[in-house]
Amino acid sequence: MTKVSIVQFPGTNCEYDTQYAFEELGAKTELIWHKSESIPSDTDLLVVAGGFSYGDYLRSGAIARFSPVMKAVTEYANNGGKILGICNGFQVLTEAGLLPGALKRNDNLHFISKHHHLKVINNDNIFLKKLDNNDIVNIPIAHHDGNYFIDEDGLRELNANNQILLKYTNVNGTNLNPNGSVDSIAGISNKEKTVFGLMPHPERAMELILGSDDGRAMLQGFMEA
């Protein structure tokens, strides 16, 4: 059985949604408090969940990056462990240098909360292997600082290494950028395809009655990693 460990910071508010989503897919889960100095040895996937760690003071994810658990998270990543950062978790991973780029304030300066379509750009990774390139999924977004930025050299490197995983689009797959992200980027990975980050919330798209169950296919790849 896949073991998913989920990091909690003060201000995290999506850990229980994340726990529910992975347990729905058959995983065993454990919540890891930010003061922990180690990651459970049986962890198959480490998730940095969404929310507002430390109230998003200073800059989203900037304080969480210095929590005791992050030393263990970095060590886990450096040893090839699989990590998924969702929304605030994506912000934390960029602040920690585990993913390239940065997340800035949305270009309209407003918090955005709605379902939004995404296009699968690269599925050559465990995260999206249950989907095909150019598939369109409908996943909730909920962020104030989701504007992904990377410089031109960094963007070329992301493209060269197939690190761009998801882009914001309309239902037909045409770019539709809700927050100003460079090249409409919604999710990326590291070069090794072991660390993943996205602003949308697949853990909130597990039930049709709630608007979409497209998140199931996005997370199922980790069950067979």
Distance, in Å, from the CA atom of 79 to the CA atom of 138, rounded to the nearest integer, reads 33
The pLDDT, as a whole number, for residue 225 is 59
| pTM score, whole prediction | 0.96
The length of the chain in residues reads 225
Residues 217 and 126 sit within 8 Å (Cβ to Cβ): no
The pLDDT, as a whole number, for residue 185 is 98
Q: 142: which 2 tokens?
A: 């909920």
* Cβ atoms < 10 Å from Cβ of 33: 13
Domain containing 17 — which CATH number? Answer: 3.40.50.880
Residues 30 and 18 sit within 8 Å (Cβ to Cβ): no
Q: 23: which 2 tokens?
A: 């347990």
Q: Which 3 state secondary structure label does DSSP give 138?
A: strand
Domain that holds residue 25: 3-224
Q: 47: which 2 tokens?
A: 């998730």
How many domains are contained in the chain?
1
The pLDDT, as a whole number, for residue 57 is 81
Distance, in Å, from the CA atom of 41 to the CA atom of 125, rounded to the nearest integer, reads 23
- pLDDT, tens digit, 9 for 90 and up, residues 113-159: 999 999 999 999 999 999 999 999 999 999 999 999 999 999 999 99
Distance, in Å, from the CA atom of 141 to the CA atom of 33, rounded to the nearest integer, reads 25
Which residues are annotated as catalytic? 87, 201, 203
Distance, in Å, from the CA atom of 161 to the CA atom of 167, rounded to the nearest integer, reads 16
**Residues of the chain with confidence (pLDDT) below 70:** 225
The pLDDT, as a whole number, for residue 201 is 98
